[in-house]
Structure 1
Amino acid sequence: MPTRLKWLSIVRSPVGATATVLVLLLALLAIFAPLVWGAQAQAIDTSGTQQGPSAEHLLGTDALGRDVLARVLVATQLSVTLAVIAVVIGVTVGTLLGTAPSVLPRWAGRIVVGIVNIAVAFPGLLLALFFAVIFGVGTTGAVLAIGFAMAPGFARLTQTMSAAIAGRDFISAARTAGVSRLRILVRHVLPNIAEPLIVNATVAAGGALLAFAGLSFLGIGVQLPAFDWGRMLSEGLNRIYINPAAAFGPAAAVVIAGLAFNLLGESAASVAGGRVAIRRSAFLPLPTTHAVPTESTESTDTILSIENLRISYPTHSGPVHPVRGVSFEIRVGEALGVVGESGSGKSLTALAASRLIEPPGVVTADRLEFNGVQILTAPEKTVRRLLGTSMAMVFQDPLTSFNPARRIGSQLAEAAQEHQVMSRRNAMERAVERLQAVRVPAAARRAEQYPHEFSGGMRQRAMIAMGLMNSPKLIIADEPTTALDVTVQRQVLRLLNRVRTETNAAILLISHDIAVVSQSCERVLVMYAGRIVEDLPTAELYTGARHPYTRALLEVVPDLDTDRGQPLGVIPGRPPAPGEVSPGCAFAARCPLATAQCLESDPELAIHSDKHRVACWNPVEGATRLTLPEPSTAAAHTQDSPIATLGGTR
């Protein structure tokens, strides 16, 4: 639903319509009441003081004979204005505090988070009174007191929502493009959390009205000769037994105004998808990386060189290693495919190569070199510029990879503006050219559309176009054809191949589907339990694969000769979790060729023949067919359901 129509739907519900009418009435009173009833509210009549309700004065008069109802109506302007100003202060300060850890150094960010955590633990009214003492008695002090008292709640809300947004693919794409943390915050994070912030600010306006009334009632808010509802309530309460209407008028105004803002906020929350809960959010430190410094490789033909890459995550029982000693190279213009079951470490390896491993992950490597630069030890500015211009990421789900709050064209143009010092107009022209290059029809018009207006295939094309904005030397495609029908899959794969041919960019294609990799790549890496178990040319995949796991993956994929009357082939058992890897070969428990040696020692990835490496003590020889247990037998040997089945290895 378009944003404008979505917000207009508020008035369709009885609660939303009532709240909208009340808020509009408050706005009209705030604007016009001083003009219409201002003179009457200030007119002093010493002969008619302390009168009760009458036809002339519906709520009676005060100690100076002024009409109470007129004063209540005129006080709407000051009461509502001060509440809105306080909310603006609270949202602004809270947003700054909540987003500060994203742009400040780690030590400073932790200090800010600690201060917010302490402030949130105190009741809001207590904080307001504390700040009122600091800022002094009066209107200005009350506004600042209430605004700063509201800030910790909005800071916590901003921290929570920012942390949720930070894990989205379009944030990772922006990081890969080399966008600075401040620009990511302003252009990508804040627009996506603005809606719930506005909803919560609307609800908070009602609370601010009540808080102001409370401070003025206590005599530390609005001071004479100015007056608001709280000041009038304090005056009316002194003679409540003589003229209850004098206290009832401002009290009713506070209740109605507060109810109007709260109901409007509740209605807006239901339209926006529910109120955003304020939860505890721990500060996430920056990614931790370590590496043994090494000299740059001399070969100019290698674009990515990885040696002994390890990724670890801390757990209660010690660190686990989902990637264990991965080593490989990609040369200029080469298409390298990586296959394996879920959890084998394919995507983590690619994320490590692009410096996108999130904390508390720790990346170590003897060499992690991209385009001649050691990206684990090079300065952050150098790495950001290098990855932003020479590496492109095509993620699995393009809908989450694009910022839903921004148009496609502006997102493509951002990379060029960041690294090529282009004007906005020139960057948009380049974005349109890139969309045309990936065969997006009516590219100029589509560049002005939002991601949800694109089909799945067109979003994937736009994601590839984004990667081409800065002429990359390496394109990492992580499951680029997942959830696409076979026709669109073929189009995307052809597009990637055409881009490689035209730009001489290397491609790292990650997929569960071994058939997709065999049709698109020149070389295949087979990963299992965080290690590469086989590295071979695609031409030898079906005839020369030597590792039992590679053979098993090939044999569970049905073809035209598969007997449809028989159960589909499966690999029995399941891959081990990162913390469950045994000392021997990780595939031994599922391998029909395993021996005692396989259970005791993990084989190294050794050269089997020219351009062919395999890690196995008992490699399959020739075209021997690997005999897999029948599905029923496999199920009898393990309590886990089979994982690898037809069409891929999900």
Structure 2
Amino acid sequence: MTSRVTPHVLRVLRTPVGACAVALVAAVLILAVLAPPLWSVDANAVDTSQILQGASTQHWMGTDRLGRDIFFRVLVATRLSVQLAALATAIGVVAGLLLGTAPLLLGTRWGRPVTAVVNVAVAFPGLLLALFFAVIFGVGSTGAVLAIGLASAPGCARLTHALISGIAGRDFIAAARVAGVGRVRVVLRHVLPNIGEPLIVNATIMAGTSLLAFAGLSFLGLGVQAPDYDWGRMLGDGLSAIYVHPFAALAPGVAVVMAGLAFNLFGEALARAVGLDARTAAVSRGARTPLPAAPPSDKSPAVRSSSDTVLCVENLHISVPGPCGLVTPVRGVSFALRRGEAVGVVGESGSGKSLTAMAIAQLVEEPGSVSADRLAFMGEDLQRLSPRSLRRLLGTSLAMVFQDPMTSFNPAQRVGRQLAEVAEVHQELDRAKALARAVDRLRAVRIPGPERRAGQYPHEFSGGMRQRAVIGMGLMGSPALIVADEPTTALDMTVQRQVLRLLAEVREADDVALLLISHDITVVEQNCDRVLVMYAGRIVEDLAAKDLRTQARHPYTQALLAAVPSMTMDRDQPLVSIPGSPFSPADVPGGCAFAPRCPLADEKCADAVPPPVDDGHGQLTACWHTDLTDRSDRPQTHRMQGVGETQ
């Protein structure tokens, strides 16, 4: 991060505004350190013969009501003014971080009231809030510091919440949660390092604002009290005689303006250096109101399970709030995975494949809701486990491989440290042993030079190496299930084949179950034992991968197969496509969802949802007209040799 920001900082420092800002801030800080020991005696010397004198060679800014030199008093007051402003800024930043991260630390249910309070507080002017808190905490420096700090906290909280919202859905956050990393650790290790730059910029600008606000409270008599003095108190003392002796008020007033300008200019220059407009970065997103969970609307047949079943899902429903009410994009999904078995899930975008995987990994949070008759992993009911037990189970026995390998890693941390975190949390290894374990896992997924690569950042890896490193992260524990959500979509064909072969080798070596989600039905056919075909949130067919080309009975499965191009197809003929388009989850029609696109559909299809029916050989098909499917009339499909195929 430092190497990326430094050139921009140097470039900004060369501009007139940047150089001026740095010079002003440096001058203020140097005065805050050196002025009291150098000029405190001159500033506090009382000379009744020089009361309210004007500017002269002896007293550059004149004297006050006790004959004390105003110029030296302004210089000495720099330390207390800057010190109190810094304390108020620190309080505001800490309180703002706690309030801004509350939804992530406490969860949506408990974090939402905190966000609502912050939104209300931001609506009030900062000075009005400072006056309100000053009355509560009382007159004096301590009360003013607390008042200004708490008054500035809502703005910092709003900015923090907005920044967190921008990265909370990233894959590396989800990966950390699947690995069982606690919420506090996620915030400290994965969230704050990625939003640190704008927060530093905001804190710099807050320092200037706090200095001005503190001067205002002292001017009103609510801040620093005699015998101490800061610029605001000096400004208040000199205001009564401003027409007779203007320097008594003018000198501290100029000091306040210059110091505030210095910090604000420095913050703006820093914002430009890191590519952030600090004036608009504090716009937050409104909190959403949770909606009640949707009750299951239909039932699926009981899932066949055995003693070696790793994952059992029965009648899974996932509901999320939509613009016009509750939406249920996953409706009654049921399936099971045995140890060492590879099951593929295919379907068009929006069919509910990835959302099903997120529910298994417990990544669906409020306002979304998950309900199921049974959702068991390794014999444990995921709906009933405590958060601590859930983190322990998923962190050691479930591995997630996401679609985009770049977003699967925290860009602010080295790859080795991210892998080692799993061992530190769950295996209680010290830092050195955890890192050694991470290097060993990188070597296991065939990353060359694992010792060197462990010390590199994710952007220094190629796409295929990042995806292999993600698999290595899953192997830090002893996974019983790997959920791979579109793991090869962002990769070229050669790397696709390498990644899929690696997943197959891991599965065979450790008897690990694999749930492979993909748009590519050919990839699933060649790398899985069973295929689940999803459409509009339901599983419409469940059959053996070896029977996919010859025994598929659902019209949608047949249409997917027919749409796969081949190397031997007639190039003069148009590509086969499925007519129409999938329905939005908020507007799924009654009856069979595929009926409007199906050539076999009739009135019964439009009126009633077909249940999954077992053909007696373990194949389940949800269609009213499987008996009308003539396999001899199917469009010819050909097996594509090479892409995603393991041999």
- The answer to whether the superposition gives a TM-score over 0.5 is yes
Q: Work out which of the residue numbers 198, 201, 207 in structure 2 matches 1:199.
A: 201
Q: Which amino acid letter does the alignment assign opposite residue 277 of structure 1?
A: A
Cα deviation 1:511-544 (Å, max 9, x = unaligned): 1111221222121111111111111222222233
1:325 counterpart = 2:332 = yes
> Number of aligned pairs?
629
- Which residue is equivalent to 1:29? 31
> In the alignment, what sits opposite 1:157?
159
Q: Hey, what's the Cα distance between the residues in 1 that align with 2:221 and 2:228?
A: 12
Letter in 1 for 2:33: I
Does the alignment pair 1:453 with 2:456? no
CA 1:299–1:443 in 2, change beyond 3 Å: closer, same or farther? same
Question: Which of 506, 511, 523 is residue 504 of structure 1 equivalent to?
Answer: 511
Please state how far the C-alpha of 1:579 moved relative to its aligned partner: 2.2
Shift of 1:66: 2.5
CA distance in 1 between partners of 2:291 and 2:447 (Å): 37
Shift of 1:323: 0.9
Classify 1:590/1:404 alpha carbon distance in 2 versus 1 (closer, same or farther; 3 Å): same
Partners of 2:187 and 2:168 lie apart in 1 by 9
Q: 1:118 to 1:244 in 2, by over 3 A?
A: same
- Bigger CA drift: 603-612 or 429-438? 603-612
Aligned to 2:60, the other structure's residue is in SS state coil
CA pair 489-576 structure 1, distance change in 2 beyond 3 A:
same
Equivalent position amino acid for 1:574 in 2: S
Q: Distance in 2 between matches of 1:609 and 1:560?
A: 35
Identity over the aligned pairs, expressed in percent? 60
2:136 equivalent to 1:134: yes
CA separation of 1:12 and 1:557: change in aligned 2, threshold 3 A: farther
2:534 pairs with one of 527, 538, 561: 527
Stretch moving more, 46-55 or 206-215: 46-55
Q: Which runs of 5+ in 1 are unaligned?
A: 629-646
Q: 1:418 aligns with which of 414, 425, 433?
A: 425
Moved more, 447-456 or 83-92: 447-456
3-state DSSP of counterpart to 1:337: strand
Q: Structure 1 residues 582, 626: CA separation in 2 closer, same or farther (over 3 Å shift)?
A: farther
**Structure-1 residue corresponding to 2:559:** 552
Give 1:317-466 correspondences, 5 Å limit. Answer: 317-466=324-473
Match of 1:241, SS state, is coil
- 2-structure distance, mates of 1:553, 1:316: 31
Give, in whole Å, the separation in 2 of the partners of 1:555 and 1:622.
12
Matched, 1:621 2:626: no
| Partner SS for 2:201 | helix
Does the aligned pair in 1 maintain the 2:155–2:282 contact within 8 Å? no
- Residue 329 of structure 2 aligns to a residue whose secondary structure is strand
- Find the aligned partners of 2:174 and 2:76 in 1 and give their Cα distance: 52
Query: Aligned partners of 1:243, 1:565: CA distance in 2, in Å?
Result: 96
Q: Does 1:513 align with 2:520?
A: yes
Report the CA distance between 1:6 and its aligned residue: 4.3
Measure, in 2, the Cα distance between the counterparts of 1:609 and 1:14: 81
1:138-166 Cα shifts (integer Å, max 9, x gaps): 22221122112112222333333333332
Q: Identify the residue that residue 641 of structure 1 maps to in structure 2.
A: none
Counterpart for residue 181 of structure 1:
183
Partners of 1:206 and 1:261 within 8 A in 2: yes
TM-score by length of 2: 0.91
- Measure, in 2, the Cα distance between the counterparts of 1:8 and 1:287: 53
Match of 1:303 in 2: 310
Match of 1:95 in 2: 97
Superimposed CA distance per residue, residues 143-192 of structure 1 (whole angstroms, 9 cap, x where no aligned partner)? 12211211222233333333333222222111211122222222222323
Q: 2-side partners of 1:588 and 1:14: how far apart?
A: 68
Q: Would you say the 8 A contact 1:95–1:158 is kept in 2?
A: yes
* 1:2 match: secondary structure: helix
The runs of at least 4 aligned residues of structure 1 exceeding 6 Å deviation read: 283-292, 295-298
| 1:285 to partner: Cα distance | 7.0
Give the aligned CA root-mean-square deviation in angstroms: 2.7
**Counterparts of residues 44-83 of structure 1 (less than 5 Å):** 44-83=46-85
2:212, 2:256 within 8 Å by CA — same for their partners in 1?
Answer: yes
Deviation at 1:496, TM superposition (A): 0.9
Q: Give ranges in structure 2 of 5+ residues lacking alignment.
A: 638-642
The answer on whether the counterparts of 1:101 and 1:283 sit within 8 Å (CA) in structure 2 is no
Please show how residues 106-125 of structure 1 align to structure 2 within 5 Å: 109=111, 111-125=113-127
AA aligned to 1:185 is V
Deviation sequence 1:369-416 (CA, Å, 0-9, x none):
111111112333322211111111011112222222222111111111
- The residue correspondences of 1:227-266 to structure 2 (distance < 5 A) are 227-266=229-268
CA distance in 2, matches of 1:406, 1:133: 45
Partners of 2:373 and 2:458 lie apart in 1 by 40
Partner of 2:174: 172
**Hey, what's the Cα distance between the residues in 2 that align with 1:513 and 1:277?**
42
Residue matched to 1:13: 15
Question: Once the two structures are superposed, what CA deviation does each residue of 1:481-509 show, in whole Å capped at 9, x if it has no partner?
Answer: 11211111111111111111211111101
Distance 1:419 1:330, change over 3 A: same
- Amino acid aligned to 2:141: T
Kindly provide the amino acid, as one letter, of the partner of residue 479 in structure 2: P
1:286–1:358 CA contact under 8 A, matched in 2: no
Deviates more, 1:273-282 or 1:129-138: 273-282
Secondary structure of the corresponding residue to residue 574 of structure 1: coil
> Would you say the 8 A contact 1:44–1:66 is kept in 2?
yes
Asked if structure 2 preserves the Cα contact closer than 8 Å seen for 1:546 and 1:621, the reply is no
User: Does the CA contact (< 8 Å) of 1:38 and 1:74 recur in 2?
Assistant: yes
Query: 599, 603, 615: which one pairs with 1:592?
Result: 599
Give the distance between the partners of 2:227 and 2:154, measured in 1 at CA: 33
Among candidates 483, 491, 496, match of residue 498 of structure 2: 491
Q: Distance in 2 between matches of 1:421 and 1:206?
A: 45
Q: Which moved more, 1:375-384 or 1:339-348?
A: 375-384
| AA aligned opposite 1:622 | R
Partners of 1:103 and 1:267 in 2: how far apart? 32
Of residues 214, 217, 220, the one that matches 2:216 is 214
Measure, in 2, the Cα distance between the counterparts of 1:197 and 1:375. 37
Q: CA deviation at 1:15?
A: 2.2
Greater mean deviation of Cα atoms: 334-343 or 510-519:
510-519
Distance in 1 (CA, whole Å) between partners of 2:294 and 2:536 is 22
Distance in 2 (alpha carbons) for counterparts of 1:301 and 1:389: 18
Change (3 A) 1:114 1:423: same
Could you tell me which residue of structure 2 aligns to residue 603 of structure 1? 610
Measured against aligned partners, the alpha-carbon deviations of 1:244-281 in whole angstroms (never above 9, x if no partner) come to 23322211111111111111212222333323224254
Say if 1:113 and 1:283, in contact at 8 Å, map to a contact too.
no
8 Å Cα contact 2:108-2:366 kept in structure 1: no
Name the CA distance, whole Å, in 1 between partners of 2:569 and 2:26.
70
Describe the superposition over 1:407-457 as per-residue Cα deviations: whole angstroms up to 9, x where unpaired. 211111111111111111111110111011111122122212222222211
In the TM superposition, residue 203 of structure 1 has moved relative to its aligned partner by: 0.8
1:638 equivalent in structure 2: none
More displaced 10-residue stretch of structure 1: 115-124 or 318-327:
115-124
Asked whether the equivalents of residues 169 and 395 of structure 1 are also in contact (C-alpha less than 8 Å), the reply is yes
Provide TM-score, normalisation by structure 1.
Answer: 0.91
CA distance in 2, matches of 1:333, 1:286: 39
Q: Is the 8 A contact 1:543 1:623 kept in 2?
A: no
Tell me how far apart the structure 2 counterparts of residues 593 and 106 of structure 1 sit (CA, whole Å): 45
How far apart in 1 are the matches of 2:323 and 2:287? 18
Q: Is the CA contact 2:346–2:517 (under 8 Å) kept in the aligned structure 1?
A: yes
8 Å contact from structure 1 (residues 290, 362) kept in 2: no
